[in-house]
Amino acid sequence: MKYLAQQAINALQLGSIYALIALGYSMVYGVLTMINFAHGDVFMLGAFFCLLLIALVPVPFWLALIVVMAATALLGTLIERFAYRPLRKAPRVSAIITALGCGLVIQNTTLGISPYARPMPRLLENATYQFGGVTITMLQIVIIGVSLGLMLALDFLIRKTSFGMAMRAIASDRAMVSLLGIPANEIIAITFAIGAALGGAAGLLYGMAYPVVSASMGITVGWKAFVAAVIGGIGNMRGAVLGAFILGSVEVMTVAVLPSTYRDLISYSLLLLILVFKPYGLLGKPALHKA
């Protein structure tokens, strides 16, 4: 029982990080029906920005989080503006290739600057707490707390604010949104910024939890989060979070009972299985109207 609770905390930690990244994939898909394949690399850069920042000025965790999120948000809008927007009306394949290309450029630039994996310095003190025999670290509390906080903020933003309404409306009819006086391009740019900021936050948190930062983590972790978004129903925010926690739990449970080399086999098999029965993902719905 204690063992199970311990594993549940681990699953929660991994799931929260997947969720933050998955939201970025899902938000962009929601407004543009496009997979932002560079998103995993924005996540990776989140970790590297943090390394860079700490190397320059030793800042506390909270400040690092804010700076990293601002930097990745800026990066996200730049990618949208200069790589994706010019191709908005281009064939879908061109947009996919551009996104993949963008990811590879980011990844290889990072690789050029930092060919080897780097250790992430400690940002939080190493406190642990005991709850009835279950150990939880300060780091885990922060990761889960920050992630949940960001997710709740996003949920509020999407459901309750005029920005959120516009974002949801763009998903169904972008031209109509413009005809109502809303600059759709600005809403799309902000969507990218928010998605990228969440990805950057995830990169920082991931770097703290598994403290080896490398240029390839955008692929290994980013793609998992993409899988999570698809399992949940891409374009649906709550689906992305659900998918991420399912994936996180499956991975943690797999590693608990099987050699860790089985982890990806099991998680990708799960993706295939879910999609066979729910082709639009767990909470996804087929699009009714696209203009």
Give residue for tokens 């991931």.
206
Catalogue the long-range contacts made by 172-177 (C-beta closer than 8 Å, 24 or more residues apart): 172/287, 172/289, 172/290, 172/291, 173/289, 173/290, 173/291, 174/31, 174/291, 175/291, 176/291
* Stretch of residues binding other proteins (CB under 8 A), selected from 133-141, 160-168, 211-219, 264-272: 160-168
Asked if 89 interacts with other proteins (CB under 8 A), we say no
Closest CB 177 distance from other proteins, rounded Å: 7
| Nearest by Cα to 22 from 267, 274, 231 | 231
Q: How many CB atoms lie within 10 A of CB 263?
A: 17
Q: Which of 179, 258, 265, 273 binds other proteins (CB under 8 A)?
A: 179
| Total site size for other proteins, rule CB under 8 A | 28
Asked if 115 interacts with other proteins (CB under 8 A), we say no
Based on CB atoms, which residue is closest to other proteins, 129 or 156?
Answer: 156
Based on CB atoms, which residue is closest to other proteins, 132 or 286?
Answer: 286
Task: Tell me the C-alpha to C-alpha distance, in Å, between residue 233 and each of 22, 220, 282.
Answer: 11, 21, 6
Q: 253: which residues sit within 8 A by CB, 6+ positions away?
A: 7, 11
Closest CB 89 distance from other proteins, rounded Å: 12
Q: Which of 102, 182, 201, 230 binds other proteins (CB under 8 A)?
A: 182
Give CA–CA dist 204/214, Å, rounded.
Answer: 12
Asked if 67 interacts with other proteins (CB under 8 A), we say no
Asked if 156 interacts with other proteins (CB under 8 A), we say yes
Find how far residue 112's CA is from the centre of its chain.
24
Based on CB atoms, which residue is closest to other proteins, 13 or 236?
Answer: 236
What is the pattern of x (binds other proteins, CB under 8 A) and - over residues 260-289? ----------------------------xx
Q: Which of 33, 178, 216, 249 binds other proteins (CB under 8 A)?
A: 178
Based on CB atoms, which residue is closest to other proteins, 16 or 191?
Answer: 191
Asked if 165 interacts with other proteins (CB under 8 A), we say yes
User: What is the token pair recorded at 214?
Assistant: 């490398």
Q: 109: which residues sit within 8 A by CB, 6+ positions away?
A: none
What is the pattern of x (binds other proteins, CB under 8 A) and - over residues 186-225? ----x---x-------------------------------
Asked if 290 interacts with other proteins (CB under 8 A), we say no
Beta strands, E only, the chain: 118-119, 128-131, 134-137, 212-213
Give residue for tokens 């601002």.
70
Q: Which of 128, 183, 265, 273 binds other proteins (CB under 8 A)?
A: 183
| Nearest by Cα to 273 from 238, 239, 242, 227 | 227
Asked if 86 interacts with other proteins (CB under 8 A), we say no
CB of 208 within 8 A of CB of 143?
A: yes
Closest CB 185 distance from other proteins, rounded Å: 8
Question: Which residues contribute to the site for other proteins (CB under 8 A)?
Answer: 153, 156-157, 160-163, 165-166, 168-169, 172-173, 175-184, 190, 194, 288-289, 291
